């Protein structure tokens, strides 16, 4: 099993480095209506949670995830984007639901691409970590309805040893498969196969971005 905490630390540091000279903090991202600074603050806030503090925050928001996320990212962000970035450089890792789960790494990779893709930034993710995230997303509906999106389709990566499911095929780079399973339609043009129209239709009504 990959060391998810080690990979997270490396990916978080790489994202901070990519943003070190950024002057486009108000640019849009692939994550709902959040700008770059808001996504960074959301990721940073996620590293502070234990199961107890996460549940307490959700309960305080009446289990409205949007309210919970907005409160915590505003709590994390600094008075300037540069201060937010400095706080982000000092974060730990996302340990929910537990340290052996790939969920935390999925957050880091997906939100990293939420930022990088619109900015035209490219990054090579840890291959073992990305593969574990892809299998995690296909295997269950957790923060997003990824398993539901994949049901009845054969997903095949063209750049990794990844094949999951039975049915009409959807193929393409593993990162694109991961991002589409996370609800990011911007990556659909990177995919192909006779199952793509079905996946595209499902994605249109999935409401899976987070």
What would the two tokens of residue 36 be? 């770059």
Indicate the pTM of the whole model: 0.94
pLDDT over threshold 90, residue 88? yes
Residue 43 domain boundaries: 4-119
User: Which residue has 């990305």 as its token pair?
Assistant: 130
Check whether residue 114 and residue 147 sit in a common domain: no
Q: Is residue 210 one of the residues assigned to a domain?
A: no
Instruction: Work out how many domains the chain is built from and give that number.
Output: 2
Q: Is residue 182 one of the residues assigned to a domain?
A: yes
Give the model confidence (pLDDT) of 116-134 as tens digits: 999 999 999 999 999 999 9
Q: Is residue 209 one of the residues assigned to a domain?
A: no
In whole angstroms, give the CA distance from residue 119 to residue 28: 9
Check whether residue 115 and residue 135 sit in a common domain: no
Check whether residue 171 and residue 199 sit in a common domain: yes
Give the model confidence (pLDDT) of 13-28 as tens digits: 999 999 999 999 999 9
Per the CB < 8 A criterion, the answer to whether 173 and 180 are in contact is no
Check whether residue 36 and residue 70 sit in a common domain: yes
Could you tell me which residue, 97 or 36, shows the higher pLDDT?
36
pLDDT of amino acid 44: 97
Listed residues 92, 119, 146: the one ending a domain = 119
Check whether residue 16 and residue 90 sit in a common domain: yes
Give me the CATH number covering residue 188.
Answer: 3.30.1050
Check whether residue 8 and residue 104 sit in a common domain: yes
Q: Identify the burial level of 166 via C-beta atoms within 10 angstroms of its C-beta, where 0-12 means exposed, 13-18 middle and 19 or more buried.
A: exposed
Check whether residue 185 and residue 82 sit in a common domain: no
In whole angstroms, give the CA distance from residue 104 to residue 95: 6
At residue 143 the predicted structure's pLDDT band, cuts being 50, 70 and 90, is confident
In whole angstroms, give the CA distance from residue 180 to residue 115: 15
What would the two tokens of residue 189 be? 């043009």
């Amino acid at each position: 099993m990959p060391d998810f905490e080690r990979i997270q630390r490396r990916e978080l540091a790489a994202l901070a480095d990519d943003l070190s000279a950024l002057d486009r903090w108000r640019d849009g991202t692939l994550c709902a209506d959040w700008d770059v600074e808001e996504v960074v603050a959301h990721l940073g806030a996620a590293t502070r949670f234990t199961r107890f503090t996460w549940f307490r925050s959700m309960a305080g928001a009446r289990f409205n995830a949007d309210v919970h996320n907005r409160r915590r990212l505003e709590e994390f962000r600094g008075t300037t984007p540069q201060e937010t970035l400095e706080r982000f450089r000092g974060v730990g890792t996302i340990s929910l639901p537990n340290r052996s789960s790939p969920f935390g790494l999925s957050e880091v990779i997906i939100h990293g691409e939420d930022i990088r893709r619109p900015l035209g930034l490219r990054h090579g993710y840890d291959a073992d970590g990305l593969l574990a995230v892809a299998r995690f997303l296909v295997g269950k509906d957790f923060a997003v309805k990824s398993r539901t999106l994949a049901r009845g389709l054969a997903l095949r990566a063209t750049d990794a040893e990844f094949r999951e499911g039975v049915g009409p095929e959807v193929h393409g780079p593993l990162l694109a498969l991961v991002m589409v399973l996370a609800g990011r339609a911007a990556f659909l043009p990177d995919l192909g196969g006779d199952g793509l129209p079905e996946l595209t239709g499902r994605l249109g009504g999935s409401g899976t971005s987070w």
